[in-house]
Amino acid sequence: MIYERKVNYYETDAMKIVHHSNYIRFLEEARLFFMDKMGLPYYKMEEAGIMIPVLGVNCTYKNPARFNDILEICVKIKEYTGVKLIIEYEVINKTTSQISLVGETKHCFTDNNLKPISLKKINIEMHKIFEKNK
């Protein structure tokens, strides 16, 4: 799945490149877009009492992006077990045709009290959507 966005001026730093912390926001935008497109908007999971906290983020910055560049963020499920979810990302700067970042986010599924759950046991319909999209 591909999510596209333009770099805003306020997302850049004194070196006139995207500040490294903003890429984490871009990955979250792309992940939520991905979930919407696979038919499982995050708000529906929250309504069902299911959370997907971020356990870790791993990023390798390759080439800088600048104000007004168009970024294409490729998102895919790297691993899904029903308890654990790893999402993989590749951020391509369409303006320069260079890879800006590669990375992944690690997640687990929890209830509203942040107690770990198995999505397969708690909500089989949502589990099937993740299985279908991995």
Residue 103 structure tokens: 């990375």
DSSP H stretches of helix in 1-134: 20-37, 42-47, 119-122, 124-132
Residue 82 in contact with residue 127, Cβ under 8 Å?
Answer: yes
Cα dihedral sign for 62, 30, 54, 24? Answer: positive
Tell me which of 13, 36, 69, 111 is the catalytic residue: 13
69 part of the active site: no
Active site members? 13
